[in-house]
Structure 1
Amino acid sequence: MKIKEVRELETKDLAEKIEAEVAKYNQMKLNHAISPLANPSEIKVTRRNIARMKSELRQRELNK
């Protein structure tokens, strides 16, 4: 998810998307520990997407 796409989301939708991505990330980590994923770089991509979304959410909080 690009930063442009993150900025287009509403604050409420962004918070929900973060929760969904964190759940997906935790599930991916668990699955990878049990049996290796076909593409383990997806874990890194998901983690970075979460960071982008959290950064944008924090920036919105500071700009209020």
Structure 2
Amino acid sequence: MKIAEIREIATNELAERIEAEVANYNQMVLNHSISPLDNPAQIKKLRRTIARMKAELRQRELNK
């Protein structure tokens, strides 16, 4: 997900989306430890997306 798309999301929805993505990330890491994923680069991509979302949420908190 690109930063422009993240900026369009409402603040409360962004917080919910972060929680969902973190849960998805944790599940993906657990599944990868049991049996390798077809594309382990998905983990890296998801981790970066979560970081972008958290950065945008923090920026909104600071601008209030």
TM-score range, shorter chain: over 0.9
Does residue 1:43 correspond to 2:43, yes or no? Answer: yes
Alignment: residue pair count:
64
**Which consecutive segments of 4 or more residues in structure 1 shift more than 3 A?**
none
**Equivalence for 1:32:** 32
RMSD of the alignment, in Å?
Answer: 0.2
Gaps of 5+ in 1: none
* Distance in 1, Cα, partners of 2:32 & 2:62: 36
Question: Which digits, 9 at most, give the CA deviation of each residue in 1:15-61, with x for residues without a partner?
Answer: 00000000000000000000000000000000000000000000000
Gaps of 5+ in 2: none
TM-score by length of 2: 0.99
